[in-house]
Amino acid sequence: MKIENKITEAVLTIVEELYGQQVPEKMVQLQETRPEFEGQITLVVFPFTKMSHKAPEQTAQEIGERLVGKLPEVVSKFNAVKGFLNLSISSQQWIGTLQEIYQNPNFGFAPVTDESPLVMIEYSSPNTNKPLHLGHVRNNLLGWALAKVMEANGNRVVKTNIVNDRGIHICKSMLAWLKWGNGETPESSGKKGDHLIGDYYVAFDKHYREEVKQLVAQGMDEEQAKQEAPLIKEAHEMLVKWEQNDPEVRALWKKMNEWVYAGFDETYKALGVSFDKIYYESETYLEGKEKVEEGLQKGFFYRRDDGSVWADLTSEGLDEKLLLRSDGTSVYMTQDIGTAKLRFQDFPIDKMIYVVGNEQNYHFQVLSILLDKLGFKWGKDLVHFSYGMVELPNGKMKSREGTVVDADDLIATMIQDARELSADKVNKLDDITEEEAQEIARIVGMGALKYFILKVDARKNMLFNPEESIDFNGNTGPFIQYTYARIRSILRKAGKVDLSALAKDTDLSDKEISLIQHLQGFEAAVKQAGQDYNPSCIANYCYELVKEYNQFYHDFSVLKEDDEEKRRFRIMLSAAVGQVVKNGMGLLGIEVPERM
């Protein structure tokens, strides 16, 4: 049983014995003792003063005396400071706690069973007209980490992706390829398919702007020129043909999309993310139109004179929302409704989480209401995991102009930087092969990228600084990875040590106790991250844990400790820290190297 649970049980009994009142468990408030006071766990006594009819300090004193008598193996001594009872927990108890953590490879994780709630998480949501960029990187890393965190909190998780594979933007790339591609393919060009298609999206925009510029020079209003430019008209004609299932347009669309998917798959693999099910907008938008028609028949929606279909949400404090245009074509909301229908057919979802940027906050507020009206049981409680934008030191990204920070380029740069920065450390390793050195660089480079993005509260906009992220000091992925590698080195040098049981009478220092207490906090960090949908809780927990371990390692010898029992204890302590760091970083999708 956890130390806090033992203390809580005892306090409930003591309060009844002393003051004749049964109190609810939540009344027992325990917290970590502040650094300036002696002890590790503090009981807040103020709630009991009304029953004791005594001053807070006197109440704390008598509860403390009873606790030491009732739990001598747990509470070694206490001190009362006003309404706070600071408890010193015995070394024997901390050693027992350490053994429980060490012996449980899944410490901090709730079990998942067939009866666990089913949570679906949607992330990535790319367009098939361009490669993934830095914004997608944040989205994918957040989605993957959130899925791992929800699973660690005892949920079954289904990871899904909705690919935006239809619409005018797709036709722009297709038309540009037909006009200027000369039959170019990923094989003939040596480019990844998504990059090749992205180049033609940029090419379309370049030629289109030129056309608009010429029309304006001829005296046309700019807005009219944007509508009348020949290229945009051709793109719209292609979209109509696509909607009408024109065989040539559909064949080209399929071929070019397959190039893009092959490119996406490479990027996803490099990022270490995957999906259990991928949905495609081209398959969901018609389903959405059906659900809207159903809502129309049931009186949830209404049709205007021009034939367009709307939802009136003014009674919910919102505005009126377009669901079908006057020509019968769908909008994003319609597609999201269709995707929801297919997902609910495929999986008995208990909760739906959408990982989408904060510019879509209003969209998901509306979607929640509409899905609830249409009978989706999770609609009302859907979660929009809303995150801020990523910017670089030199400003924002624009995909139409080809000035985005490409995900593949970013990944390659991070790995190369890691290789150069860690060269001194890696070269000191015995018998290191070129292949191993490159693998360490990959793990460190990707760890730097992922950690830098995930340590920030997702709700905030962030500035991504590659140089800062790959530092081996401070709150970075490489700093945590290096500490893990150091622990693994200690354990290899220790060889085979019997850690099946530790002597309970070993005296522990304050630093050792503090480190065990930090380890115990992993459970609360995982729970908090799940409750708040906030993977940064895990990132910052891992940083605080390794900082505490490095201070311990600086102050105490592990392998050169003469006292055998203390040496065995410190080896177990190191192993437990390594295990929790590996599990914590694993929740963020970050690998940790065995040596570095």
pLDDT digits (tens, 9 = 90+) for 124-174: 999 999 999 999 999 999 999 999 999 999 999 999 999 999 989 999 999
Q: What does the mean pLDDT of the chain come to?
A: 93
In CATH terms, the superfamily for domain 407-457+464-587 is Isoleucyl-tRNA Synthetase; Domain 1 (1.10.730.10)
Q: Which two tokens stand for residue 11?
A: 């306090």
DSSP label at 200?
A: H
Count of Cβ atoms closer than 10 Å to residue 496 Cβ: 5
Closest CA to 231 of 171, 165, 166: 171
Q: State residue 403's pLDDT score.
A: 56
Residue 496's alpha-carbon distances to 241, 490, 493, 504, 558, in angstroms, are 70, 12, 9, 21, 15
The confidence band for 394, taking pLDDT boundaries of 50, 70 and 90, is: low
Has residue 88 got a pLDDT over 70? yes
What pLDDT does 333 receive? 93
- Return the amino acid letter for 454: L
- What are the sequence ranges of the domains in the chain? 3-89, 166-273, 407-457+464-587
> What pLDDT is attached to residue 440?
94
Residue 402 confidence (pLDDT): 47
Asked if pLDDT for residue 401 goes beyond 50, the answer is no
Helix locations, 123-246, DSSP H: 134-152, 168-180, 186-189, 193-217, 222-228, 230-243
Rounded to an integer, the average pLDDT of 365-382 is 93
Q: CB-side exposure of 571: number of CA atoms within 13 Å?
A: 23
**Quick one: how far is CA 205 from the chain centroid?**
34
CA 441/CA 436 separation, integer angstroms: 9
Assigned CATH topology for domain 3-89: Gyrase A; domain 2 (3.30.1360)
Stretch 294-320: mean pLDDT: 94
DSSP H or E run through 30: strand 29-32
**Looking only at Cα atoms, what is the longest distance across the chain?**
95
Give the sign of the dihedral formed by CA 255, CA 257, CA 259, CA 265.
negative
Bridge partners of residue 395, in order along the sequence? 392
DSSP assigned state of 164: B
Helices assigned H by DSSP within 244-317: 247-271, 281-297
Lowest mean pLDDT: which of 38-47, 225-234, 297-306, 416-425? 416-425
Band of pLDDT at residue 397, cut at 50, 70 and 90: very low
What values do phi and psi take at 328, rounded to 5?
Answer: 90, -5
Q: For 57, phi and psi rounded to 5 degrees?
A: -65, -40
Given this model, what pLDDT does residue 400 score?
44
- Place 285 in a pLDDT band, splitting at 50, 70 and 90: confident
Residue 415's alpha-carbon distances to 180, 244, 470, 506, in angstroms, are 34, 46, 10, 45
164 vs 201: CA distance, rounded Å? 15
State the pLDDT confidence band at 260, using cuts at 50, 70 and 90.
Answer: very high
Q: Which of 466-475, 490-499, 543-552 has the highest mean pLDDT?
A: 543-552
Distance between CA atoms of residues 66 and 536, nearest Å: 40
Retrieve residue 39's tokens.
């002890």
